[in-house]
Structure 1
Amino acid sequence: MIFENFYIHANMIILKFICSITLALLLTVSTVRAAPKKSVISSLPGFVGTLPSKHYAGYMTIDGSPGEKNLFYYFIVSERNPSKDPVVLWLNGGPACSSFDGFIYEHGPFKFQAGKPKESLPTLHLNPFSWSKVSNIIYLDSPCGVGLSYSNNPKNYVTGDLQTASDTHTFLLKWFKLYPEFLSNPFYISGESYAGVYVPTLASEVVKGIQIGEKPLINFKGYMVGNGVTDDKFDGNAFVPFAFGMGLISSDIYEACQITCGGKFYDPPSEGCQKNLEKVEQAVSGLNVYDILEPCYGNSETRNGSGNTNMPLGFHQMGVNKKPLPKRTSMFGRASPFWSTRDTEASSPGSQDGYHVKCVDDEAAVAWLNNEAVRKAIHAAPVSVAGSWWICAGRVSYSGDTGSMIPYHKNLTSLGYRVLIYSGDHDMRVPFTGTEAWTRSLGYKTIDEWRPWMTDDQVAGYLLGYDNNFTFLKIKGAGHMVAQTKPREALEFYSRWLDGKPI
């Protein structure tokens, strides 16, 4: 009888073990199949060889008013450990500029070699410093009307900061339902330039969703912003000290600005201040605003359009704002980093046109993303449906409707989310001097004193660590698009920060 009971008990244990193994296998199969097959990318025109990891792309449709908004994404599975590595959303700025800028020119899986002639298909080579080496990464064209994202109703191209954050949050909820195998991975939001607004406003929407138990529950851990627009006064007052520190203006001009403006470069208090700021404008007008060390690509009237300027933040009113900036001939207020250099003749809302960005080489991207074979391969709508790809979308009418981002940062850090704010120190569009100033203004306790950080035994930049998981990082010699000018260094700080290791 004892042996019989033992036999029955043993069989039950074995049966439970078999059931658990079967269930695990079923879950594994379902996990593998969760990613939509129709979104799988098997090959890419211009690239010869096997993709370094799985790639997916397609549209996520969300409700518009009226009609629908079709937001295009390109998702790259991590080359390291997809089931454990973070999922990172990347957003380029503008506003209204395509995240394929980041994909093609910064930290995507390929380096693009422009074709000859320039209209021909580029050649793609593997990028040794791709951020997909250490993370799963989503490149999203947002808001609707940007890049390959489109709507059948042009009214959906009228948007602003708050609507964009809401739409992108809706996209994320739908995306994680489509890719549930990544729901438990740590999730981070990242971006640069005007994404200094996109990122914290979206992060706030995600946190609100988490707090009310919105499903699926996103495993949000923090965010990172590069050379990001943040606050009118801090950004606007940063330029003159930057220009002087970089040796772009003389001591006489700098001292005259200090005396007549009293540090209020964002809001010039007198005609004398205005005249001295115009001297600063004249001194820097021939430089590449995105990287003062580099030549200005395509510097011609035909490429850049009429009315363009190479001036930094706020010299001219930019974009469409619900709370318009004061109208002046020269000012240093909050700006849309790409809108100030757009081709103003090809940017009316609702049109199919976009615009080039002064000093930025976009020829490889234009040739590749407007090729119908490429669009078919990445599951994007043809030109006849989604329109031509431009680095920045002229058909989008965008309103800046939020104000300073500092309250957003304070709120998010008070809730325990990790934050990395980084700046290329040769960017004149959003100078590091303003970013360093506003991060200091938060009043957080310094826990990692100002120090150099290293790559390959060389100083790569400087770092200042604050309480509340908040870090300010400067990249030596980098421009506005940090990973484009300093790819090795960018991957270094990106991977270490995501892994929770000291930079």
Structure 2
Amino acid sequence: MDAQLLSRLLFLLLSLIIVSGEAATTLVTSLPGFDGALPFHLETGYVTVDEEHDSELFYYFIESEGDPRRDPVILWLTGGDRCSVLSALLFEMGPLRFVIEPYDGAAGTVPRLHYHPYSWTKAASVIFVDSPVGAGFSFSRDPRGYDVGEVSSSLQLKTFLAKWFTEHPDFLSNHFYVGGDSYAGKIVPNVAQKISEDIEAGLKPAINLKGYLVGNPITGEAIDLDSRVPYLHGVGVISDQLYETIMEHCHGERYGNPNPKNVICAQAMDRLKAGYITYLAYVWANNNITRENLGIKEGSMGEWVRCHEKDLPFTHDIESSIKYHRNITSKGYRALVYSGDHDAVVPFLGTQSWVRSLNFSIIDEWRAWHLDGQSAGFTIAYTNNMTFATVKGGGHTAPSYQPERCLAMLRRWISSKPL
């Protein structure tokens, strides 16, 4: 067989693999906006998680920059309703960040990227996944595939992991953790429990699950939002007068309710609203060269948007995730729950409250943890291998504001060292 014919056959085989939606992976060596070759191993790809509706989840896999054969593997999910995990990669704990500078939008240019020295990939390999279907670059060829919920998307993530580890058997022996922040805090412990159940049933591949971690997490309980007003009052953001108005007129309503029925309550809550703009990600992710380099399937998605909050169906069918926290830790798996202490979206007061409600015995009393001789936050450790920590100066979410402290926290925790 001559070289030209062999080349054509290999090209045909590669094309069939990509069209089929299985093992559709891309090794990314460069990206628009970053000067030179990427200084880390980045693989992107798709995994089919719903055969009936031909639904595929898109992922970014970045190998540990330390020792990828020994360092843990973390599945990372981002917050928000159907938000792209690209936000976590570029704004939180990934090895790239945007250069903060005016962007003039000149033809053919994209926002510049620079290497982020406090990436969590310094300590672990991370699989960033666009979940559920419809988030980021994940898509379904059948529109019915977008009709998912918290329970079904958790099961799809379990399917994703089974297929991913089958395709990446070299990482099966690595310690594995499920992680996520904000809204994903509701999904993470459920996914961890589903994986543990498969392990108990002896299903293959046998993922080496060691635990999970959640940052600035919601649970679905009222305390997630009801702690906002007491927190903001406690740190002096709102006055005594506004605090007293809300406490008097919002009685019986969740303080985080965006549409309270009481008029005076509604007027008071309007004064707390704020916004956040990530326009650089829109420009960068919708650039044709970016999509080509990432291996995005042509025609799979229209415009990339950070979050699909209203235009796609989604069922909120996990009423509370607290029971999953109790279940998974009772099986001996480790848990890290952390909060930026300047987070007014999901304040640490509420998170600390539900962690305490688990009634686990304290084995390491509330104390400061340090980095370079300075207090980096506070922490407390419980039986059932659960650790709660605050990150000093961290907002929503903590790694966006305090990347060095969060990396130090991660390194110590995954090494089973006290914070």
Q: Fold conserved (TM > 0.5)?
A: yes
* Equivalent residue, structure 2, for 1:487: 403
1:112 to 87, 93, 98: 98
Tell me the CA shift for residue 257 of structure 1.
5.1
Tell me the CA shift for residue 360 of structure 1.
2.5
Counterparts of 2:103 and 2:249, CA distance in 1: 52
Contact 1:450 1:462 in 2 (8 A): yes
Tell me the CA shift for residue 98 of structure 1.
0.6
TM-score of the two chains, using structure 1 as the length reference: 0.73
1:54 to 10, 33, 41: 41
* Equivalent residue, structure 2, for 1:390: 305
Q: Secondary structure at the match of 2:379?
A: strand
* Equivalent residue, structure 2, for 1:91: 77
* Equivalent residue, structure 2, for 1:213: 202
Contact 2:245 2:265 in 1 (8 A): no
* Equivalent residue, structure 1, for 2:232: 243
Tell me the CA shift for residue 249 of structure 1.
2.9
Contact 1:46 1:124 in 2 (8 A): yes
Residues 130-209 of structure 1 aligned to structure 2 (within 5 Å): 130-209=119-198
Counterparts of 1:108 and 1:281, CA distance in 2: 34
Q: Secondary structure at the match of 2:395?
A: coil
Change (3 A) 1:405 1:248: same
Q: Secondary structure at the match of 1:140?
A: strand
Among all aligned residue pairs of Structure 1 and Structure 2, give the percentage whose two residues are the same amino acid.
40
* Equivalent residue, structure 1, for 2:55: 69
Cα deviation code 1:345-393 (max 9, x no counterpart): xxxxxxxxxxxxxx323222112211121112111123x3322111102
Q: Secondary structure at the match of 1:284?
A: coil
Counterparts of 2:218 and 2:393, CA distance in 1: 20
Cα deviation code 1:239-276 (max 9, x no counterpart): 221121021333344456556777x55389xxx99466
Tell me the CA shift for residue 416 of structure 1.
0.7
* Equivalent residue, structure 1, for 2:378: 462
Larger radius of gyration: 1
Tell me the CA shift for residue 472 of structure 1.
1.1
Counterparts of 2:279 and 2:116, CA distance in 1: 19
Tell me the CA shift for residue 283 of structure 1.
3.9
Which ranges in structure 1 are unaligned for 5 or more consecutive residues? 1-35, 289-358
Moved more, 108-117 or 211-220: 108-117
Q: Secondary structure at the match of 2:222?
A: helix
Change (3 A) 1:156 1:273: closer
Counterparts of 1:228 and 1:277, CA distance in 2: 26
Q: What letter matches 2:41 in structure 1?
A: K
Q: What letter matches 2:218 in structure 1?
A: V
TM-score of the two chains, using structure 2 as the length reference: 0.87
Residues 355-366 of structure 1 aligned to structure 2 (within 5 Å): 359-366=275-282
Counterparts of 2:46 and 2:261, CA distance in 1: 50
State how many pairs are aligned. 390
Cα deviation code 1:150-190 (max 9, x no counterpart): 11111111111100000011000000001100000000011
Moved more, 113-122 or 54-63: 113-122
1:266 to 254, 259, 262: 254
Q: What letter matches 1:389 in structure 2?
A: W
Counterparts of 1:367 and 1:115, CA distance in 2: 13
Cα deviation code 1:58-108 (max 9, x no counterpart): 1111225x4211110010011100000000011012120011000111111
* Equivalent residue, structure 1, for 2:26: 39
2:213 to 224, 245, 262: 224
Counterparts of 1:248 and 1:115, CA distance in 2: 30
Moved more, 406-415 or 392-401: 392-401
Counterparts of 2:331 and 2:53, CA distance in 1: 36
Change (3 A) 1:136 1:267: closer
* Equivalent residue, structure 1, for 2:20: none
1:402 to 313, 318, 321: 318
Cα RMSD over matched residues? 2.3
Tell me the CA shift for residue 491 of structure 1.
0.8
Change (3 A) 1:124 1:282: closer
1:374 to 290, 310, 314: 290
Counterparts of 2:265 and 2:332, CA distance in 1: 41
* Equivalent residue, structure 2, for 1:446: 362
Contact 1:446 1:466 in 2 (8 A): yes
Tell me the CA shift for residue 238 of structure 1.
1.2
Which ranges in structure 2 are unaligned for 5 or more consecutive residues? 1-22
Q: What letter matches 2:162 in structure 1?
A: L
